[in-house]
């Protein structure tokens, strides 16, 4: 799914933090790096025209929230982590569509790999 037509987009990529998520004891004990990408679809015409932060989304606040979720309460699945972030993003007033990708580059996989990620996307009804 892509950002719906007629919406502008704010992207935050590569937000990085250490979290203690996973199903294995060593993941919960030792932690690992998680990388998050967030895309927000909204109409920021009024913000651009009026040069007004209150008419758009404060991406600094989004980045801080993502960091807090990654470093906060552990979950077993990165799917759960992504959904927590997505639901919060969709609650932001002007946001009409959101996409969150959580990367787990150090996932405990027995074969060589570059990255594991999950993406969840939703639009407001």
Residue 20, C-beta contacts closer than 8 angstroms, at least 6 positions apart? 27, 28, 29, 30, 31, 74
124 is catalytic: no
Given 21, 65, 84, 104, which residue is catalytic?
104
Measured in whole angstroms, the distance separating CA 5 from the mean position of its chain's CA atoms is 21
Active-site positions read: 104
């Amino acid at each position: 799914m892509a950002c719906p037509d007629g919406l502008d987009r704010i992207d935050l990529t590569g937000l990085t933090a250490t979290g203690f998520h996973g199903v294995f004891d060593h993941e919960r004990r030792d932690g690992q790096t998680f990388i998050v990408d967030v895309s927000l679809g909204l109409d920021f015409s009024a913000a651009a025209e009026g040069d007004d932060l209150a008419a758009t989304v404060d991406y600094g606040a989004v980045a801080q929230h993502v960091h807090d979720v990654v470093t906060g309460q552990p979950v077993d699945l990165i799917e759960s982590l992504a959904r927590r972030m997505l639901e919060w993003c969709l609650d932001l007033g002007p946001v009409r569509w959101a996409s969150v990708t959580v990367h787990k580059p150090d996932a405990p996989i027995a074969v060589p790999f570059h990255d594991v990620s999950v993406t969840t996307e939703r639009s407001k009804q």
